[in-house]
Amino acid sequence: MHRLYLDSPLQAGVVALGPSAMRHVRALRLRAGDPLVVFDGGGGQWQARLGAAGDSVELLAFEGVEREAAQAVELAVGMPANERMDWLVEKAVELGAQGIAPLMTSRAVLRLEGERAERRCAHWRGVAIAACEQCGRNRLPQLRPVQTLERWLRGLPAAGGAARCLLAAPSQAQALPLARWAAGVPAGQVVLALSGPEGGLDDAEIGLALRAGFVPVSLGPRTLRAETAPLALLAGLAALRA
């Protein structure tokens, strides 16, 4: 069944489609009367039918379907360059990330500010929406604005608040294996996971994260790429909580 995200809170009745939703419907080659599933990103989905002119949907029945990960994870990543960040956003959404914070770090290749940063975030939001449509998630993950690591850390509640904070650390002697670290996280807590860019985090940034309460965690003896490590974390935590 085709799935369509609509960017406003939904309730039973007929909803007019905006230009981008109409383009999407045309791309899917849907015809008047065809059934589809519609969701607004806030949870649950609607059984729906495409209207006669193809410019509206009739919402028929709400279903409280949830497909969120058992372990809520907020990812903060030193942005990898080029299409690798698109790839990371798409896969992170599929793997259930609750939020994604793209960070500028001292060794990150990608520097984004002002309008360019906003445009890129809007693009990543589109990638996240498409991933939700494809994988069946009915809750849209939060895409945070691009910011520096320092600023992101400053914005966290003291010691990460109720969240448990993990620093993906390839070369820290005292890093805990993921399973050992996760065993100490009570069920229901949001995990904040910080992972570095292509060149890794520098010593000052690692020091800041440690002082903010982040615990170094290892994903094994191999150095994973900047887009692989956060995905391995998400998959690992999901498997440990399953």
Tokens encoding 185: 């996280």
Pairing relationship of beta strands 142-143 and 99-104 according to DSSP bridges:
parallel
Q: Nearer Cβ to ligand SAM, position 30 or 206?
A: 206
Q: Nearer Cβ to ligand SAM, position 56 or 218?
A: 218
Helix (H, G, I), strand (E, B) or coil at 199: coil
Amino acid making up residue 185: V
Length of the chain: 242
Q: Nearer Cβ to ligand SAM, position 142 or 223?
A: 223
> Measured from the CB of residue 232, what is the shortest distance to ligand SAM in angstroms?
8
Measured from the Cβ of residue 152, the count of other Cβ atoms closer than 10 Å reads 22
> Measured from the CB of residue 158, what is the shortest distance to ligand SAM in angstroms?
23
Q: Which of 219, 103, 105 is nearest to 168 (CA)?
A: 219
> Measured from the CB of residue 25, what is the shortest distance to ligand SAM in angstroms?
39
Run of H or E residues at 63: strand 56-63
Q: Nearer Cβ to ligand SAM, position 15 or 149?
A: 149
Contacting residues toward ligand SAM, per CB under 6 A: 168-171, 195-196, 198, 200-201, 218-220, 222-226, 229
Residues 175 and 55 sit within 8 Å (Cβ to Cβ): no
> Measured from the CB of residue 203, what is the shortest distance to ligand SAM in angstroms?
10
For residue 214, give Cα distances in angstroms to 87, 93, 232.
26, 23, 18
> Measured from the CB of residue 113, what is the shortest distance to ligand SAM in angstroms?
22
Q: How far apart are the first and last CA of the chain?
A: 27
Q: Nearer Cβ to ligand SAM, position 50 or 85?
A: 85
> Measured from the CB of residue 208, what is the shortest distance to ligand SAM in angstroms?
14
Indicate if the alpha-carbon torsion angle 80, 82, 88, 93 is positive or negative.
Answer: positive
> Measured from the CB of residue 78, what is the shortest distance to ligand SAM in angstroms?
7
Q: How far apart are CA 47 and CA 70, in angstroms?
A: 25
Amino acid making up residue 36: L
Q: Nearer Cβ to ligand SAM, position 10 or 194?
A: 194
Q: Nearer Cβ to ligand SAM, position 4 or 229?
A: 229
